[in-house]
Structure 1
Amino acid sequence: MTILVTGSRGKVGRGVVARLHAAGLPVRAASAAPAELAVPDGVATAELRLDAPETFDAALDGVRQVFLYPEPSGIDAFVKSALAADVEHVVLLSSSSVLAPGAETDPLASPSLLVERALAASGLTSTFLRPDAFASNAFAWIHPISQGLPVELAYPGASLAPIHPDDIADIAVATLTGDLLRGRAATLTGAQALTFREQLAILSEATGRDIPLVDITHAEAEEQMARYMPAPMAASLLALQKEAAEGPAAIADTTGTLLGRPARTFRQWATENAAAFTGR
């Protein structure tokens, strides 16, 4: 009754693997490059490339549950292989962006939405975890903070409720090992709404560094972001930030409402990851 974890190189995937293994459950960590995985001793690994159906059968052998990363390439073939392998339950790491108007054509939302639709049409029991902003999105500020440069933002008042990746892993494992959210969809957030300005203030305290903030225009931000991501994605991100600046972020399901324990805070995440911003 092995549980297959795709995306095992990511923070959430690694957390799911570690928790399942610590609980004594059979888990197989999958990746396009399994030799590069850092997994606990005794955890089996497998090659799985979601755009390469020839890798599916071996990875799914003996698997009854899957923690799935939302890659739409090859999803129809993956569903077919999962059904043939007698997989009973898929937990998808989706995104809250699938709920937004225009999700079908949005470069951020459409990959998750396509996978959700394929799973919903398959007959497989599927759970859709839809996290909103990750606390780890703040890693985008590593360069300016580490170099003592100002963080330039078009919408410093954008309000989000960032969720700690470890909370997502906890919820995923509870879903894989029990009845929590089975066959349902849930939007996941942290328990506190914070603006970008407030997040930077917390990072300043955690790192012991002054972090200057400079307001820039929407057009300037779009030009900057397009240097390191596709222009449509930059435009989508900025549209989300503009909308988020209109009021406090809504709080959805958290580890408090789902697991009965306090959600990890952005301050906790900042303290745990302060060295990434300082080089120490």
Structure 2
Amino acid sequence: MNTILVTGATGNVGRPLVTELVNAGALVRAVSRNPETAGLPPGVELVRSAADGIAGAAAVFLNSRALGQELAATVDLARTAGVKRLVALSAINADDDDSRQPSRVRGDRNREVEQLAVASGLEWISLRPTVFASNFAGMWAAQIRAGDVVSGPYASASTAVIADADIAGVAAVALLTDDLVGQRIPLTGPQALSNTELVDTIGRVLRRPLRYREVPTGLVRQRFVDLGFPAVFADAYMGLLTATVDRPALVTHEVEKILGRPATTFADWVDAHRGPFTDS
């Protein structure tokens, strides 16, 4: 049986991916800087770096944020070690200017990871998800715990939010089957929702009268800075949103086609992840 190496194995996509692969009967080698506290399923082999785990692996899941400066070297190692397939975690806007890619500030190299996989000479698949559902817990949970108003930019800007576990599900198919080889796959949730509609959805699930209040971009920028984000992150985030002001975000149906089930709705994701939004 072939071994699959997962980088970013304890992240929002990596953790459910490891579980998917284990449940499918795959041999999984997971990269974790802190293997003692990784909390991954029994039977998963833990290594501290991709370099430590690449020998004998048939496929590698590439998470550019987790790999950091080791990204290019890991692809080179994969080639020389006889790895057959690379699955890159990229982003739906990987081709956009850097000024509209806020995740770059946090270490994602969506364009580069795809380019390296494609140019590797190995089998490759590039997954291009839109905004992760978990991002909204990070951005909004504190406001929701504190009150009934979520303040932010561009109330009418929309996102087809994707559940992190749906990305993991598609990644498992990419790693375990030949169905997706050589494809760049744009992944979204099932519906484009405006910021107002996203907050309304959280309110309905929590049974609270939440509302979204649009505020000037300057105030939003300062709030991100106060939370510890670089100003360039705030600018990139707002630049990304402006493309969908009063225009629905792109919705693809790749998740349903690949997994044979509907993509997870934002409401269902919130219902399964209430903790960050409540005091309990």
* Residue 63 (structure 1) aligns with: 57
What does the per-residue CA deviation read over 1:169-218, in whole Å, with 9 as the maximum and x for residues that have no partner?
Answer: 11111111112211211110011111111111111111122224322101
* Local SS of the residue matching 1:99: coil
Amino acid at match of 1:269: W
**CA distance, structure 1, for counterparts of residue 146 and residue 110 of structure 2:** 35
**CA distance, structure 2, for counterparts of residue 31 and residue 104 of structure 1:** 30
* Residue 184 (structure 2) aligns with: 185
* Residue 36 (structure 2) aligns with: 35
Q: Determine if contact 2:128/2:184 at 8 Å carries over to the other structure.
A: yes
Q: In the alignment, does 2:268 pair up with 1:272?
A: no
* Local SS of the residue matching 1:28: strand
1:1-280 aligned within 5 A: 1-48=2-49, 56=51, 58-71=52-65, 72-100=68-96, 102-103=97-98, 106=101, 108=103, 111-139=109-137, 140-148=139-147, 150-227=149-226, 228-280=228-280
Given the superposition, is the C-alpha separation of residues 185 and 45 from structure 1 closer, same or farther in structure 2, using an over 3 Å criterion? same
Identity across matched positions, percent: 33
Q: Report deviation, 1:30.
A: 0.9
Bigger mean CA offset, 60-69 vs 258-267: 258-267
**CA distance, structure 2, for counterparts of residue 40 and residue 98 of structure 1:** 32
Amino acid at match of 2:132: F
**CA distance, structure 1, for counterparts of residue 34 and residue 245 of structure 2:** 39
User: Which consecutive aligned stretches of 4+ in structure 1 deviate over 3 angstroms post-superposition?
Assistant: 103-110
- Total equivalences in the alignment: 272
Bigger mean CA offset, 1-10 vs 32-41: 32-41
Amino acid at match of 2:16: G
Q: Report deviation, 1:11.
A: 2.0
**CA distance, structure 2, for counterparts of residue 39 and residue 256 of structure 1:** 27
Q: Report the TM-score, using the length of structure 2 for normalisation.
A: 0.91
**CA distance, structure 1, for counterparts of residue 195 and residue 102 of structure 2:** 23
**CA distance, structure 2, for counterparts of residue 166 and residue 66 of structure 1:** 18
Q: Report deviation, 1:111.
A: 1.4
Bigger mean CA offset, 172-181 vs 244-253: 244-253
**CA distance, structure 1, for counterparts of residue 152 and residue 164 of structure 2:** 24
Amino acid at match of 1:122: S
Q: Determine if contact 1:163/1:189 at 8 Å carries over to the other structure.
A: yes
Q: Report deviation, 1:75.
A: 2.2
RMSD: 1.8
Amino acid at match of 1:247: R
**CA distance, structure 1, for counterparts of residue 211 and residue 58 of structure 2:** 50
Q: Determine if contact 2:100/2:240 at 8 Å carries over to the other structure.
A: no
**CA distance, structure 1, for counterparts of residue 132 and residue 100 of structure 2:** 22
**CA distance, structure 1, for counterparts of residue 36 and residue 224 of structure 2:** 33
Q: Determine if contact 1:131/1:168 at 8 Å carries over to the other structure.
A: yes
Q: Determine if contact 1:64/1:89 at 8 Å carries over to the other structure.
A: yes
**CA distance, structure 2, for counterparts of residue 33 and residue 116 of structure 1:** 27
Q: Determine if contact 1:207/1:275 at 8 Å carries over to the other structure.
A: no
Q: Determine if contact 1:104/1:113 at 8 Å carries over to the other structure.
A: no
Given the superposition, is the C-alpha separation of residues 149 and 262 from structure 1 closer, same or farther in structure 2, using an over 3 Å criterion? closer
The runs of 5 or more residues in structure 1 that have no matched partner are 49-54
What does the per-residue CA deviation read over 1:10-58, in whole Å, with 9 as the maximum and x for residues that have no partner?
Answer: 121111111111121101111222222111111111111xxxxxx60x2
Q: Determine if contact 1:153/1:213 at 8 Å carries over to the other structure.
A: yes
* Local SS of the residue matching 2:248: coil
What does the per-residue CA deviation read over 1:118-153, in whole Å, with 9 as the maximum and x for residues that have no partner?
Answer: 222221221110101112221111101011252111
Amino acid at match of 2:3: T
Q: Report deviation, 1:106.
A: 4.9
